[in-house]
Structure 1
Amino acid sequence: MTTPSPDRRANRYAAPPQTNARREGSGITGKAIVLVFLAILVAFLFYGYRYLQSREEINASISYVSHEIIDEDTLRVWADVTRNHPDEEAYCIIQAYDYEKAEVGRREIAIAGDGKAAIRISVDVPTNERAVAGGVYGCSSLIPPYLDTKDPQYQVR
């Protein structure tokens, strides 16, 4: 048996792919994928850093302790406030709920920078319906302009 000539082989079978051209194309695609991956990684690290930095800026945190129904229109809520920087002012939001867990009252309170890192507060929350439970929403050191920390109406008792 004789082996076919190279010309006849080329006619019978497809020509072998040119490896150099294929490698160049896949190299560009591979580089593009790596660049996109690096861009996503850099963005993830940047936003992760910003998130952690913003979490550290929160001065105060609040935790619910108990509640007492004063009358049909008032709920008293006790909560513990813990501050990272006790000399800075903070404000917190206390809530009142009905049987369906709908919010029926809310009170924003200012906490003066008094040097105490942890305090227990008692807040009377006015409600528009009968409340059966209390809760806390959260705290912030960014006090809204309408909330005057010197006004006794908004201060902790």
Structure 2
Amino acid sequence: MTSSSEPGSPGTGHGVPEGRYGRRGSGRDRRWPVWLGSALVLALGLVLAVAAYRNFGSAPIDGKASQFDLRDDNTVHITLEVRRDEPSRPAECVVRSRGISGKEAGRKEVYLPPGATTTYVETTLTTSEQPVTGEVFGCSYDVPKYLREGARPSG
């Protein structure tokens, strides 16, 4: 085995033969993709955090049936507990009942005037078959015009 004293020659172990592997780039050229990738990951994380907050954060208004009473074969009396973050705004809740078959047997909109943060409202719902539950389907600050003006829907 022969050894050469020239730098970069194969036998010395110092460096690589010139032209064999192409031009070496500086470390500075390799940093911009890392910064760009980091910025994209942070932006994506921020978008996901905002979406998760909007979808899984606390609702501005929330209603539940705190009690229901089956009055007869076609009537259920429901007591709603509604919590809202803006009690100065009117709201509406949709209540429903399921019949003995499991299908929805009745539905009604209930108007809630401005009031306290937690409000209890009672309503009676007529059903198309024997009711087995009374529940709150959902609540909203988007009150239909016919509820705001005091005119009740027929039915």
Compute the TM-score of the two structures, normalised by the length of structure 2.
0.68
Distance 1:149 1:109 in 2: 13
Structure 2: gaps spanning 5 or more residues = none
| Equivalent position to 2:43, from 39, 50, 60 | 39
Residues 19, 123 of structure 1: CA spacing in aligned structure 2 closer, same or farther, 3 A cutoff? farther
Alignment of 1:137 onto 2:141? no
Q: 1:5 to 1:85 in 2, by over 3 A?
A: closer
Give the secondary structure class of the aligned counterpart of 1:138.
strand
Provide, for residues 48-78 of structure 1, a one-character-per-residue CA deviation record: whole Å limited to 9, x for no partner. 67x39x957x3x4323222122233221111
Say whether the 8 Å CA contact 1:111–1:149 is kept in structure 2: no
Gaps of 5+ in 1: none
2:125 partner amino acid: V
Q: Is the 8 A contact 1:97 1:133 kept in 2?
A: yes
Q: Percent identity?
A: 20
Question: Contact (CA 8 Å) 1:95, 1:103: kept in 2 or not?
Answer: yes
CA distance in 2, matches of 1:8, 1:112: 90
User: 3-state DSSP class of the match of 1:9?
Assistant: coil
**Contact 1:97/1:104 (CA < 8 Å) preserved in 2?**
yes
Residue aligned with 2:148, SS: coil
Residues 91 and 142 in structure 2, CA contact (< 8 A), matched pair in contact too: yes
Q: SS where residue 89 of structure 2 aligns? A: coil
Task: Work out the number of aligned pairs and report it.
Answer: 146
Normalised TM-score (structure 1) = 0.67
RMSD: 3.6
In structure 2, the CA distance between the partners of 1:144 and 1:101, relative to structure 1 (3 Å rule), is same
Structure 1 CA distance for aligned equivalents of residues 137 and 3 of structure 2: 86
CA drift of 1:143 comes to 0.8
Q: Considering fraction of residues, name the structure with more helix.
A: 1
* 1:120 match: 120
